[in-house]
Amino acid sequence: MKHWQLNKEDSGIVVAVLDRAGESTNALSTEVTDEFAQILDQLELYPPKGLIVRSAKAAGFIAGADIGEFSQLDTPEKGRALVARGWDLFNRLAAVKYPTLALVRGHCLGGGLELALACRYILAVDEPGTKMALPEVMLGIFPGWGGMLRLPQRVGPAAALDMMLTGRTVDAKKAKKMGLVDDCVPPRVMEMAARQLLLSNQPRRPLPFMQKLLAGPLKSVVANGARKQVARKARPEHYPAPYAIIDLWQQHGGNALAAPEVVDRIISSPTAKNLLRVFRLQERLKGFGKDGDFATKHVHVIGAGVMGGDIAAWCALRGLTVTLQDQSLERIAPAIQRANTLFKKKLREPLKARAAFDRLIPDPTGSGVAHADVVIEAIFENVEAKHALFRSLEPRMKPGAILASNTSSLRLEDLRTALARPERLVGIHFFNPVAMMPLVEVVEAEGADPAAVRAACAFVKQIDKLPLPVKSTPGFLVNAVLAPYMLAAMRAVDEGVAPETVDEAMLAFGMPMGPIELVDTVGLDIAMAAGRQLADGAEAPRCLLQRVEKGQLGKKSGQGFYAWQQGRPQKGATAAVPAGLAEKLVQPLVDRTQRLVAEGIVADADLADAGVIFGTGFAPFTGGPLNRLNSSR
Ligand code: NAI
């Protein structure tokens, strides 16, 4: 066999080890599942005492089905055949007489988890990389290889639907707690524990009585509740897959083959095609961070304000040592407090949160500069202040360290004149709020050192953000495309359309937030300044001017286009959305995106789509503004 290895132990246990040829991670390609079927054939003839399925890859167990094969599903027959391949195989695995166990270490996703679920036992190895999920919904499809059948049986329908409808990952401890795995052990005892559990004859933990009710007589209650929850986040015309998952579980026991019309509809949907594209684009962005061997241990951030404070916290959360500088300790304190809240929320375990907290070091004198691999400037948006800072920083920095500015609106070409080695300055442009926004623009000024740009991308990838290389231009990509879109939205308000109606038009289009609420969120003063720089000399909208004059700056002042209470805009009822409004508002964004591609600010149309999706939340099911344009032609 090409991808699997079978080891027969003296005890009579057989270990099937997946080591997919030519790849660093395991995925369930047709070849891999065909070979696994051969293994089951062999074991049928000579039944072992027990079977352990595991991976030989350092990266993890199995990352899912082979995504490359999805794009070949050009007929309904091929789609159904793909579902049948895993469904039948894992049913066969679930039915064997001898005990089976999946030893899960590292990622165990999608089809990988469905394989594990078909084993009698699952043993998870407790280490940071161990993550289990059924993320199919994020690709616009459903877990059709038995996930919809077996996950509810193991963890109860509510928790199972939650995992399947959100794609959420769970770690080893959580998986044990919810009953997804039978046990969770540290790596040093996993071999022994796997063999003991396999031969233990231990019955599966029964579902609690309430969960049994929810899986039986109260099924429709769970399904209806789940439908309501999904409806709050995704409209069926945009994202049909989560609704299909609920239907398939409720009406067909998770067997998609019992509803071939659903399989055809979901697999051939433009949403599935576009979400697959978005997944690929995401991988492409990650790829920019894989160049070279730049590794960051220590980051020094200057400016502990809104951005600098949160950038520092994020880097500490991701395991880096961070020194955070500002003009005084008092100015650093609020950032440390916010960081503490972030660590507790994201890391949950007090020891881990404490360790992250210890990695974030207040540094009012800037002594961290000399040790840092990456120095990020995030002080006031003022050229003179930044020049003075750069002059004092440069002589103290390590020779190979990156010097980056988080500036939104100043030209790197102007900022770097204060440097002895101007070619080393790059832009690393984060978005607000840092913890939520996946994209970071890596800005290359004319004549910048390509090695510095590559290293900046590697740093961004290292902290689990998506680096998008862009050329230096006002607003880079994301703010430059947002500005004309927000302007168009405010022009509509000037023309008498209610802010609520404008927002509703774009929510119905598939945006995560309406443009007027977005203006309120970023601040009307900021929107005004951005407009001045990015709106090609267009006059500011009246509705914006009037509010700014009255000091109504949006969320931060409690009143903008909306009144804000407890961090939420108080919106009135929405009138019917005028026909064509959404198209009219989105057109300037599309035009600007095209222009930036033509000007070479981003390398190609695909990357522009990626940037606009991950930087603005632009309706992912469309595959991006330019993809949408091309598919509508
Ligand atoms: P902010 O005003 O919240 O924070 C700036 C901090 O820098 C203040 O705490 C200030 O005390 C400190 N500071 C000023 N001069 C300093 C010096 N010489 N040495 C040490 N500390 C100094 O500003 P914010 O919003 O965090 O912006 C910072 C940078 O990030 C700006 O360049 C801005 O354009 C950029 N940016 C801002 C975004 C936002 O949404 N606020 C988004 C993306 C980039």
- Where along the chain do its domains lie? 4-268, 298-473, 479-600
Q: What is the 3-state secondary structure (H, E, C) of 338-373?
A: HHHHHHHHHHCCHHHHHHHHHHEEECCCCHHHHHCC
Measured by CA distance, the residue closest to atom 1 of ligand 1 is 305
Tokens of 580: 């064509």
Position 441 scores a pLDDT of 98
Measured by CA distance, the residue closest to atom 25 of ligand 1 is 306
Count CB atoms within 10 A of the CB of residue 461.
Answer: 20
CATH match for 479-600 among 1.10.3720.10, 3.30.530.20, 3.40.1390.10, 1.10.1040.50: 1.10.1040.50
Position 297 scores a pLDDT of 98
Q: What is the pTM of this model?
A: 0.93
Distance (Å) from CA 389 to ligand 1 centroid: 13
Using DSSP's 3-state secondary structure scheme, residue 39 falls into: helix
Distance (Å) from CA 407 to ligand 1 centroid: 8
Distance (Å) from CA 302 to ligand 1 centroid: 8
CA distances from 458 to 119, 430, 624 (A): 39, 15, 25
Protein residues with CB under 6 Å of any ligand 1 atom: 302-308, 325-327, 331, 378-381, 385, 389, 406-409, 430, 432
Using DSSP's 3-state secondary structure scheme, residue 53 falls into: strand
Model confidence at 20, pLDDT cuts 50, 70, 90, reads: very high
Measured by CA distance, the residue closest to atom 20 of ligand 1 is 326
Model confidence at 293, pLDDT cuts 50, 70, 90, reads: confident
The residue type of 428 is I
Measured by CA distance, the residue closest to atom 28 of ligand 1 is 378
CA distances from 170 to 120, 123, 146 (A): 20, 14, 19
Position 73 scores a pLDDT of 86
Distance (Å) from CA 440 to ligand 1 centroid: 17
Least confident of 96-110, 140-154, 289-303: 289-303
Position 575 scores a pLDDT of 87
Tokens of 544: 């914006």
Model confidence at 72, pLDDT cuts 50, 70, 90, reads: confident
Mean pLDDT to the nearest integer, 589-598: 98
Give the mutation target among 377, 380, 384 for probing the ligand 1 site: most ligand atoms within 8 A of CB: 380
What is the tens place of the pLDDT at every residue in 510-539?
A: 999 999 999 999 999 999 999 998 988 889
Distance (Å) from CA 467 to ligand 1 centroid: 21
Give the mutation target among 301, 302, 306 for probing the ligand 1 site: most ligand atoms within 8 A of CB: 306
Give the mutation target among 300, 301, 302, 307 for probing the ligand 1 site: most ligand atoms within 8 A of CB: 307
Does this chain's domain 298-473 share its CATH topology with 479-600? no
Q: What is the CA radius of gyration of the chain?
A: 27
Measured by CA distance, the residue closest to atom 14 of ligand 1 is 379
Mean model confidence pLDDT for the chain: 96
Distance (Å) from CA 304 to ligand 1 centroid: 7
Measured by CA distance, the residue closest to atom 21 of ligand 1 is 326
Model confidence at 288, pLDDT cuts 50, 70, 90, reads: very high
Quickly name the fold that domain 4-268 has: 2-enoyl-CoA Hydratase; Chain A, domain 1 (3.90.226)
Measured by CA distance, the residue closest to atom 44 of ligand 1 is 408
Model confidence at 140, pLDDT cuts 50, 70, 90, reads: very high
Sign of CA dihedral 589, 590, 593, 599: negative
List the 321-325 sheet strands across, edge first: 360-362, 321-325, 298-302, 374-377, 402-405, 425-429, 439-444, 466-471
Position 30 scores a pLDDT of 97
Report the C-alpha dihedral over residues 548, 553, 558, 561, rounded to 10 degrees: 70
Query: What CATH number should be reported for the domain whose range is 298-473?
Result: 3.40.50.720
Distance (Å) from CA 400 to ligand 1 centroid: 25
**Atom of ligand 1 minimally distant from the CA of 389:** 18
CA distances from 105 to 50, 191, 413 (A): 19, 11, 48
Q: Please indicate whether residue 429 is annotated as part of the active site.
A: yes
Tokens of 468: 């998008």
pLDDT of 291 above 80 = no
Taking the C-alpha atoms of residue 300 and residue 298, their distance in angstroms, rounded to an integer, is 7
Say which of 3, 298, 300, 429 is annotated catalytic: 429
Measured by CA distance, the residue closest to atom 39 of ligand 1 is 432
Position 436 scores a pLDDT of 96
Mean pLDDT to the nearest integer, 317-342: 98
**Atom of ligand 1 minimally distant from the CA of 386:** 18
Position 539 scores a pLDDT of 93
CA distances from 130 to 27, 271, 342, 611 (A): 16, 29, 22, 29
Model confidence at 286, pLDDT cuts 50, 70, 90, reads: very high
pLDDT of 633 above 70 = no
Burial of 167: CB neighbours in 10 Å, binned 0-12, 13-18, 19+ = middle
Give the mutation target among 314, 379, 412 for probing the ligand 1 site: most ligand atoms within 8 A of CB: 379
Beta strands of 341-455 (E only): which ranges? 360-362, 374-377, 402-405, 425-429, 439-444
Position 102 scores a pLDDT of 98
Distance (Å) from CA 382 to ligand 1 centroid: 9
The residue type of 296 is T
Mean pLDDT to the nearest integer, 191-198: 98
**Atom of ligand 1 minimally distant from the CA of 407:** 32
Model confidence at 171, pLDDT cuts 50, 70, 90, reads: very high
Position 205 scores a pLDDT of 85
**Atom of ligand 1 minimally distant from the CA of 328:** 11
